[in-house]
C-alpha cells in the first residue's frame, strides 16, 4: 500500500461517495430506465418478483434493458400479479423476450419462467420472503443463488441493492462485494488491491477476483458489499478501462495514488 495514503481514509471516502450517490428519489440507483419501468422494479410491496426477475436478467446486456424487462412483461401479460405471470405460455415469454433486445433472450425464455416457478414452489408466490425479517445477508445471497442462472455476482448484487437502496435490514454476515471488472480496476488503481503478475493468466484472474472479495471483507467487515456500488460507479464514470481515466473529475482524486496509471495518461492532465 502506498505510504502516506492510509487505506482507512480511502475506504471512508469511497463509502462517503457511495452514500452521496444514491438515487435521490429512492429505490434502485444506477439504472437509466423510464419512470414506469423504475416504479415497477421499485415496488417491493406489491411486486417483489419484478425485482427478482430484473436481477436475473441483469447480465450480459445493458442494465436498462434488464431493468425495463418487467414492464415489458407486464404489458405483454396485461398485468403483473404473480398468478398472471405463472399462467403465461411459453409463446408469450418467447414473444416478449424476442422483442426486448436482451442479448441472452433465448436463455431468459427458460430462466425467467423457471424463476417464477421457484418463487411459487419455494415462497408461495411471495418473493419478499427471500429477504424475510431476521434473515442474514449471507442467507439471502444463498437464496438468490438457488435460482437457475444466478451466480455469485448477481446474488451479491441483489442483496447489496436490497440493503443499500431499499433499506432492507439484514443481520450479519452481510453480503460480499459483487466482483466486477469496474470494481476490480478501481480497487487496483486506488491502491486497495495489489496487482498480480503471475504466469498463468486464467488462474491469475480467478485469484484476483477472490482477492478482491477477501480484501473488501478486510476493509469493511461489517458489510463488505458496501464498497461495491461506489467502486462500480467510479469505474463507470471516470476510471475508464479503454481510455484514460478522468482523474481531475474523480471524487477520489484527492487521495487516489493512481496505481498502474501512467502519469501522462490521465485525461485533462
Q: For residue 116, state whether it binds ligand SF4 (rule: CB under 6 A).
A: no
SS3 171: strand
- Which range in 52-60, 147-155, 195-203, 243-251 contacts ligand SF4 by CB under 6 A? 243-251
- Which range in 29-37, 123-131, 144-152, 185-193 contacts ligand SF4 by CB under 6 A? 185-193
Q: How far is the CB of 149 from ligand SF4 (least distance, A)?
A: 32
How far is CA 203 from each of CA 185, 191, 208, rounded to the nearest angstrom?
17, 22, 8
- Tell me whether residue 112 or residue 234 sits nearer to ligand SF4 (CB atom): 234
The one-character DSSP state at 175 is P
Q: How far is the CB of 52 from ligand SF4 (least distance, A)?
A: 32
Euclidean distance between CA atoms 152 and 177, whole angstroms: 9
How far is CA 209 from each of CA 52, 91, 199, 204, rounded to the nearest angstrom?
25, 39, 16, 9
Build a one-symbol-per-residue string for 132-171: x at contacts with ligand SF4 by CB under 6 A, - elsewhere. Answer: ----------------------------------------
For 246, half-sphere exposure in the C-beta direction (CA atoms, 13 angstrom radius) is: 9
Euclidean distance between CA atoms 158 and 47, whole angstroms: 15
Euclidean distance between CA atoms 167 and 9, whole angstroms: 25
Q: How many amino acids of this chain bind ligand SF4 (CB under 6 A)?
A: 15
Build a one-symbol-per-residue string for 198-237: x at contacts with ligand SF4 by CB under 6 A, - elsewhere. Answer: ------------------------------------x---
Which runs of consecutive H residues, i.e. helices, occur in the chain? 7-20, 35-42, 48-57, 63-77, 82-86, 90-98, 105-123, 137-145, 152-166, 181-189, 201-219, 228-237
- Tell me whether residue 48 or residue 191 sits nearer to ligand SF4 (CB atom): 191
How far is CA 174 from each of CA 55, 147, 247, rounded to the nearest angstrom?
18, 20, 31
- Tell me whether residue 14 or residue 162 sits nearer to ligand SF4 (CB atom): 14
Q: For residue 239, state whether it binds ligand SF4 (rule: CB under 6 A).
A: yes
Binding test (CB under 6 A) with ligand SF4, winner from 190, 193, 216, 233? 190
Q: For residue 238, state whether it binds ligand SF4 (rule: CB under 6 A).
A: yes
Q: For residue 191, state whether it binds ligand SF4 (rule: CB under 6 A).
A: no
CB 163 within 8 A of CB 174: yes
Q: For residue 13, state whether it binds ligand SF4 (rule: CB under 6 A).
A: no
- Tell me whether residue 205 or residue 237 sits nearer to ligand SF4 (CB atom): 237
In b/e form, how buried is each residue of 78-94, taking b as 16+ CB within 10 angstroms? eebebeebeebeeeebe
Interface residues with ligand SF4 (CB under 6 A) are: 186, 189-190, 234, 238-239, 245-247, 250, 252-253, 256, 258, 261
Amino acid at each position: 500500500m502506498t505510504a502516506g495514503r492510509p487505506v482507512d481514509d480511502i475506504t471512508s471516502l469511497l463509502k462517503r461517495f457511495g452514500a452521496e450517490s444514491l438515487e435521490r428519489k429512492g429505490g434502485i440507483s444506477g439504472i437509466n430506465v423510464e419512470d414506469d419501468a423504475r416504479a415497477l422494479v421499485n415496488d417491493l410491496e406489491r411486486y417483489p418478483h419484478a425485482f427478482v426477475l430484473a436481477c436475473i436478467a441483469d447480465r450480459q446486456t445493458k442494465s436498462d434493458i434488464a431493468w425495463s424487462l418487467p414492464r415489458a412483461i407486464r404489458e405483454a401479460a396485461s398485468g403483473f400479479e404473480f398468478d398472471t405471470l405463472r399462467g403465461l405460455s411459453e409463446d408469450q415469454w418467447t414473444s416478449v423476450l424476442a422483442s426486448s433486445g436482451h442479448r441472452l433472450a433465448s436463455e431468459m425464455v427458460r430462466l425467467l419462467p423457471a424463476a417464477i416457478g421457484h418463487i411459487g414452489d419455494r415462497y408461495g408466490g411471495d418473493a419478499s420472503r427471500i429477504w424475510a425479517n431476521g434473515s442474514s445477508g449471507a442467507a439471502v445471497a444463498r437464496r438468490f443463488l438457488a435460482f437457475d442462472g444466478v451466480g455469485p455476482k448477481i446474488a451479491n448484487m441483489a442483496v447489496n441493492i436490497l440493503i443499500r437502496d431499499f433499506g432492507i435490514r439484514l443481520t450479519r454476515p452481510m453480503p460480499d462485494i459483487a466482483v466486477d471488472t469496474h470494481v476490480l480496476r478501481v480497487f487496483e488503481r486506488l491502491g486497495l488491491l495489489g496487482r498480480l503478475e503471475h504466469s498463468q493468466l486464467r488462474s491469475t484472474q480467478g485469484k484476483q477476483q477472490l482477492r478482491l472479495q477477501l480484501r473488501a471483507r478486510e476493509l469493511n467487515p461489517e458489510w463488505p458489499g458496501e464498497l461495491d456500488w461506489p467502486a462500480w460507479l467510479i469505474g463507470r464514470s471516470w476510471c475508464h478501462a479503454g481510455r484514460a481515466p478522468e482523474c481531475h473529475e474523480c471524487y477520489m482524486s484527492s487521495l487516489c495514488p493512481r496505481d498502474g496509471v501512467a502519469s501522462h495518461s490521465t485525461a485533462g492532465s
